[in-house]
Amino acid sequence: MNASTETHYDLIVIGGGSGGLAAAFRAAEHGARVALCEPDALGGTCVNVGCVPKKAMWLAADVGMKLELARTLGFDLPAAELDWPTFVVHRQRYIHNIHESYRRRLDEAGIVVSASRVRLRDAQTVVCANGIAMRGERLLIATGGRPHRPDVPGAELGGVSDDVFHWTAPPPRVAIVGAGYIAVELAGVLQALGSRVEVFGRGDRLLAGFDAELAVQLAEDYRQAGVQLHFGYGLDAVERDADDEGLRLRDVAGGVSERFDALLFATGRRANTADLGLEAAGVALDDKGRIVVDAANETTIESVYAVGDVTTDPALTPVAIAAARRLMDRLYAGGTALLDRKDIPTAVFSHPPLASVGLTEEDARAQHGDAVRAYRAGFRPMLHALADSPQRSLFKLVCVGDERRVVGIHLLGEGADEILQGFAVALKRGITLDDLRDTVAIHPTSAEEVVLMR
C-alpha cells in the first residue's frame, strides 16, 4: 500500500472497482494528485465476483460442452468431469495477477491508496474509519452495487451470485430465482458443469429488455440442455426441507417445489450508497438509492462526481470505465467528450451467448412505427449440425426507413459475443442493410449470416 502524509488531493476516488481505478489512473496521467479509498479487494465486483470469474467459469463450461460434442464426432475420450478445486486455483491465480498488476500501476502512478472505508463529511472532505480526514478539490464516488435478496420469509437461506465463487463443487440441484442476465448466465454455467438447474422468473420470458425472439430461442436452447424454466412465478417463502438440509420454494398460491441443494437469488442489484454520508454533502439519490448524474457524470453538488453501478448509468463495466476516463479528460486535460449512452453493445454469457446493440424490434416499432422492418436468420452452427446437437442460433437485424438503416443487431449463437463488437461500430456509423449486403461473406462462418440476411 502506498503511504503518504499528504492529506490534500486534487481528486479523491471512493471505490477501487473498474470505474474508480480507471478514473484514478487517467487523472494521475494528467498530473493530478490522487488518493484512492478501497477497503476491499481492488477491481470491485467485475474482477472479484463478476465479469472475470464468471467468464472463467463460462469458459470451463464451454470446454466441457465441446468435449461432449467431440465424443459424438468420434474422438475417443473418456467421460470428463471438472475438478472444481483445481479449476478454482487457476481462476484465483488469474485474479491474483490482476490485483498485482493494479498494485504495481498504482505505485508507478504515485496514487495514494487508503484501504479504509470512508464517509463524506462535506462536499470536499472524507473521513476514514480510523478518523483521519482527507480533503480533495474533487470527489468521485465509484462504490458500485451489490446483489439484492427479495423480502420474503426464509430469504436468508438462499445465496446470491457472489456466493457461487466460493463453491468448490457443483450442488446436485440448484434453484435460481430471477430471469435476468445474471440468472441466465448462472443457469447455463451450472447446468453445464454438473448441476441440475431450475429457473423461477416472475415474468413471461427470460431477459426482459432484450429482443423477445432471441429470448424465446435461448429458452428453447436451455430446455434442450436440461434447464427447467418456470415463468410467471411468484415466490412467497423459502423453507428448510423437513428431512435434511435441502430447501424448498413456496409460491404465492401455496405450491411447494421439489427439494434443492442450493438456492441462488438473481433478483437485481442495489447501489452501494448507504452509510457514505451523501446526505451531508447534499448529493441527490433516486428512488432506487442510485446517485443521480447528468450526461457529464456530475451530481447535484459541483465538486462531487460519480460513475458506474452506483449511478443511474447502465450497469456495465465498460460503461463505468469509459465514463470515468472521459470525465478525467474533461477535468484535467481540457477534453470535451461525453460518454455516448446510445447504442451501447452488451453480451450475455449464456450457452450459447447472446449479444445485442441498438433497439429491439419492440422498441424500434414504438419509436418508428410501420417504418420498421426486421430480418432474421435461424440456423444450427456447423459444429452443432455435425454433431446433430439441437442447439440453434438466431441472428436478427432491425432496420428503419426506406434506406433500411440498421438500428438494432441482435445475435444468439456461438461466437455472438465476439462477432458483435465490430458490427456495433458499423451500427454507430449509420450502416444500412445494403451496406451489409455489399460486404462479401466469410464462409463458412456464423458471422456471414449478418451480411447475407434477406
Q: Is residue 244 very low, low, confident or very high in pLDDT (cuts 50, 70, 90)?
A: confident
Task: Give the residue from 248, 267, 286 where a domain finishes.
Answer: 267
User: pLDDT band at 80, cuts 50/70/90?
Assistant: confident
**Percent of the chain's residues with pLDDT above 70:** 99
pLDDT at 2 over 80: no
Rounded to 5 degrees, φ, ψ at 167 are -75, 145
Query: What is the CATH number for 364?
Result: 3.30.390.30
Please check whether residues 113 and 257 belong to one and the same domain: no
Tell me what the mean pLDDT of segment 254-266 comes to: 97
Q: Which three cell numbers stand for residue 425?
A: 461500430
Percent of the residues in the chain that have a pLDDT greater than 90, as a whole number: 96
Same domain, 326 and 363: no
| Residue 71, domain member (yes or no) | no
Same domain, 108 and 212: no
Confidence of residue 4 (pLDDT cuts 50, 70, 90): very low
Q: Which residues pair with 230 in a beta bridge?
A: 200
Domain of residue 393, residue span: 352-452
Task: Please indicate, yes or no, whether residues 309 and 413 belong to a single structural domain of this protein.
Answer: no
> Is the residue at 341 inside a domain?
no
In terms of domains, do 163 and 96 share one?
no
CA atoms of 380 and 383, how far apart (whole Å): 8
Q: Report DSSP letters for 205-253, one per residue.
A: SSSBTB-HHHHHHHHHHHHHHT-EEE-S--EEEEEE-SSSS-EEEEETT
Say whether both 263 and 281 belong to one domain.
Answer: no
Residue 204 and residue 160 share a domain: yes
Which pLDDT does position 127 carry in this prediction?
Answer: 95
CATH number of the domain that residue 167 is part of: 3.50.50.60
* Pair 140, 96 in one domain: yes
Note the pLDDT of residue 67. 96
Residue 55 domain-assigned? no
pLDDT confidence band for 261 (50 / 70 / 90): very high
Q: Is the pLDDT of residue 5 over 80?
A: no
100: exposed, middle or buried (Cβ count in 10 Å: 0-12, 13-18, 19+): exposed
Looking up cell 441498438 gives 358
CA–CA distance, 344 with 323 (Å, rounded to integer): 12
Clarify whether residues 276 and 263 are in a common domain: no
Overall average pLDDT of the 245-251 stretch: 95
Q: Are residues 14 and 139 in the same domain?
A: yes
The answer as to whether 379 is a domain residue is yes
Would you say residue 225 lies in a domain? yes
| Banded pLDDT at 324 (limits 50, 70, 90) | very high
What pLDDT sits at residue 243?
Answer: 79
Residue 1 has pLDDT above 60, yes or no: no
Active-site residue set: 443
* 66 assigned to some structural domain: no
Average pLDDT over residues 62-87: 95
* Residue ending a domain, choose from 212, 233, 267: 267
pLDDT class of 13 with cuts at 50, 70, 90:
very high
Range 68-73 average pLDDT: 96
**pLDDT at residue 247 above 90?**
yes
Q: How high is the pLDDT of residue 167?
A: 96
Q: How many helices (H) and strands (E) does the chain have?
A: 13, 21
pLDDT tens readout for residues 139-167: 999 999 999 999 999 999 999 999 999 99
Kindly state the average pLDDT of the residues 272-287: 95
- Please check whether residues 257 and 191 belong to one and the same domain: yes
Please count the structural domains in the chain. 3
Nearest residue to 197 via CA among 189, 205, 209, 206: 189
The answer on 224 and 105 residing in a single domain is: no
- Categorize the per-residue pLDDT at 245 as very low, low, confident or very high, splitting at 50, 70 and 90: confident
Last residue of a domain, one of 252, 267, 282: 267
Give the model confidence (pLDDT) of 39-53 as tens digits.
Answer: 999 999 999 999 999
Report the pLDDT averaged over residues 112-129: 95
* Amino acid letter, residue 111: I
Tell me the average pLDDT of the chain. 96
What confidence tens digit (pLDDT) does each residue in 203-242 have?
A: 999 999 999 999 999 999 999 999 999 999 999 999 998 8
Identify whether 37 is part of a domain: yes
Query: Is 294 a member of any domain?
Result: yes
Nearest to 353 by CA among 2, 58, 109: 58
